[in-house]
Structure 1
Amino acid sequence: MQWLELEGAANARDLGGLPTADGGVIADRTLLRSDNLQGLTPADVKLLVEDVGLRTVVDLRSTHEVESEGPGPLRAVERVRHVHLSVLPELGEMTDAAVDALFSRRERTLERYPDDPMCALYLGYLEDRPESVVRALRTIADTPGAALVHCAAGKDRTGVVVALSLTVAGVEREAVVADYAASGTRIAGIMARLRASPTYAPDLEKRGGDDEKHRPRPETMEAFLTQVDERYGGPLAWLAEHGFGESDAQRLREKLVA
């Protein structure tokens, strides 16, 4: 796991080196993932932009989150493009910490997959905001240099978009699941940063529970990918149904695979 040791983010890593089923690997410095970027220091910005070659940020947070948090340090860097693509229904002041608020439609959400509420939530991203998911993958494919995908914690919304991207690139499922679960090793730092934020702290306080409640479990990503297979014929079929065809998939593979 290629962690990016940033002062202002707890869950940042380069996905380079992940193995594909045909013996290849994801290229270094093409696809990055992270939690919220609001706290980046000047040294963090230099590492990402000058050393890693960051050129595009794909921000999966809701409009409320973006407006509440305000512009982060990377917004001042002209060579970095920012693409905002919320994967949540825009229902007022919504954050990904406010999962219980999303569950104002709780019955419908849980009906998607009663055995795992987080898997049910992930399936909701595909149902509620397919255009954002597709555009996120297309943005990654078209980025010259490194693309960084992030949300608030960098584990759920980011986890789904990254899992789909890696799957299209041919990464073995075991490695996709392991990358998703790796955020759990940083859960204390992730949650400390969220609890220190006026945007996320109130939602977390309402939900209660310790850090373990928020730790991503490999079984959740396994269930999500299995459900995408069973319901839609797999990630490629779901993407094709929403306008991301074979030529798009090939561009993404060429971008990501060394």
Structure 2
Amino acid sequence: MHVITLEGSYNARGIGSGRRPWLVRSAGLDALTPGGERALRGAGVDLVIDLREGSEHARRTHAIPVRSVPLYGEAPPASGSLETVYAGLVRDRGARLAAAVIAIAEHPGTAVVHCTAGKDRTGLVVALARLAAGDARADVVADYAASGAAVRPARQAIAAAQLSGLGLTDAARAASERLHLDSPAEALEAALDIVDELGGAAHYLRSHGAGDAHLAALAALAERAGGRTATVSEPVV
């Protein structure tokens, strides 16, 4: 993973080659400056995959084409634990998670995937895409865990304002602050354990609408950017 500095956004990293990653992840891009847009285009990005709900959108300041793939179908949870939220997404939103990964696979160039902070919805979609492409789980988890250092200073005041009127207990507030601000490795590990229980990333994606061609495309994208041999998991029968 390679940190990308973006004017008008944060928590941006490229996956694969530092000069030409095969996938980029970031926080929201609505306020991207011209310099931030140039930085993304310089990394080869020519498509934005936006995982947010329509109610979360603001007026965009960039001209990169956007494909909207909302994951929740409703307002994102304002409180709760990371593990509970992730488990709900994996178990109940498999078709939407797969649709986002399919959007990555179907795009011949480099896509940037984002939600609001670029750690939760983005973290799950990027993890599934990377695992299906053949990346090591340890590398995927380490990339996810890197988000906390960027997200906490950017969103601490926003999270405090969102949680202040919910009347949460001290324990519930602490869990909800972790939901909004942190990306501990164990949270993604727990979600990936569920994916493994369901047959692993490739089978999970196939069972929710992805085809072998999509998985082959992900592997080819990763091989092109990282110099690895492209491999695709065999179907689970």
Q: Which amino acid aligns with 1:99?
A: S
Query: Which residue is 1:249 aligned to?
Result: 215
Q: Aligned partners of 2:69 and 2:112: how far apart in 1?
A: 13
Does 2:21 align with 1:29?
yes
Deviation (angstroms), 1:168: 0.4
The one of 93, 96, 99 equivalent to 2:79 is 99
Superposition pairs for residues 1-258 of structure 1, below 5 Å?
A: 1-17=1-17, 28-49=20-41, 51-66=42-57, 70-74=58-62, 77=63, 80-90=64-74, 94-95=75-76, 98-100=78-80, 117-191=81-155, 195=158, 202-206=161-165, 213=178, 214-230=181-197, 232-258=198-224
Q: Give the conservation status (yes or no) of the 8 Å contact 1:57–1:82.
A: yes
Give secondary structure in 2 for the equivalent of 1:31: strand
% same residue: 36
TM score, norm. by length of structure 2: 0.82
CA contact (8 A) 1:11 1:190 kept: no
**How many residues matched?**
216
- 1:59 aligned partner, one-letter code: D
Stretches of structure 1 lacking an aligned partner (at least 5 in a row):
18-25, 101-116
Q: CA deviation at 1:182?
A: 0.5
Deviations 1:78-110 (A, max 9, x none): xx32111111132xxx235x135xxxxxxxxxx
Residue 113 (structure 1) aligns with? none
- Asked if structure 1 preserves the Cα contact closer than 8 Å seen for 2:9 and 2:31, the reply is yes
Does structure 1 retain, via aligned residues, the 8 Å contact 2:83–2:191?
Answer: yes
CA distance in 1, matches of 2:160, 2:45: 29
Residue 49 of structure 2 contacts residue 113 of structure 2 at CA under 8 Å; is this kept in 1?
Answer: yes
Offset, 1:204: 4.1
Q: Contact 1:4–1:12 at 8 Å: present in 2 too?
A: yes
Q: Distance in 2 between matches of 1:179 and 1:234?
A: 19
Pairwise CA distance, 1:176: 0.6
Q: List 4+ stretches of structure 1 deviating above 6 A.
A: none
- Counterpart secondary structure, 2:67: strand
Structure 1 residue 55: deviation in Å? 1.1
CA, structure 1 residues 221+210, in 2 after alignment: closer, same or farther (shift >3 Å)? Answer: closer
